[in-house]
Amino acid sequence: DIQMTQSPSPLSASVGDRVTITCRASESISNSLNWYQQKPGKAPRLLIYGASSLQSGVPSRFSGGGSGTSFTLTINSLQPEDVATYYCQQSYGTPPFTFGPGTKVDIK
Amino acid sequence: EVQLLESGGGLVQPGGSLRLSCAASGFTFSTTVMSWVRQAPGQGLEWVSAISGSGYIHYADSVKGRVTVSRDNSKDTLFLQMNSLRVEDTAVYYCATVESGSYFDNWGQGALVTVSS
């Protein structure tokens, strides 16, 4: 099965900072990489699919990039409401769909 | 508006069984791939199972042989039958729609399953 890792964790930054989370796959997954945001006590929310496509309704300060085995989620100008845990998830080929361990983001 | 409402969670003893349901509305359920994802307390997300509209099924190795996913397209409802439950199955179980057979674009609020003696 494909394994996913994320870094850093946790991540602490100031309001207005540009924040980047990295996700790596144990083998090439092309652009089959998705990102989710989860706030405490809530269900996850899809942010980015296909490595770089922004889900409808998601603020444009969120962006995704990468392909193959290395991917990034960037938050331009971190806002207080962005405090959450962020997960990557690979969807290459048939299941199992694998999630990364998560990156907890908070405000300094 | 897409709505997914899980039910059936609760406390069960190790070795016991439980059946979760997920009532769907706001989209064409019969042609939508559906999935279960779980999250143990304080832990990350773990994909559990997926089922296509026509009944093509996948399971995670961690639950294979103990869990059965099914759907009733006439009632827009997804099910997860869990048997031989273990303490490590304790988690919030989410149902989710799977777009393009690839990503989870709508999620329910979750149902808590606690396996404890």
Average pLDDT score, chain A: 97
B111, B12 Cβ separation under 8 angstroms: no
Specify the pLDDT at position B80.
Answer: 98
Phi, psi at B88, each rounded to 5°:
-75, -5
B61 contacts A99? CB cut-off 8 A: no
Q: Is A35 on the interface with B (CB under 8 A)?
A: no
The shortest CB-CB distance from B105 to any of A38, A46, A98 is to A46
Residue B81, pLDDT > 90, answer yes
A36 contacts B60? CB cut-off 8 A: no
d(CA B51, CA B27): 16
Q: State how far residue B57 is from chain A, nearest Cα, in angstroms.
A: 10
End-to-end CA distance of chain A: give it in Å, rounded.
37
The shortest CB-CB distance from B108 to any of A36, A43, A91 is to A43
Residue B22, pLDDT > 90, answer yes
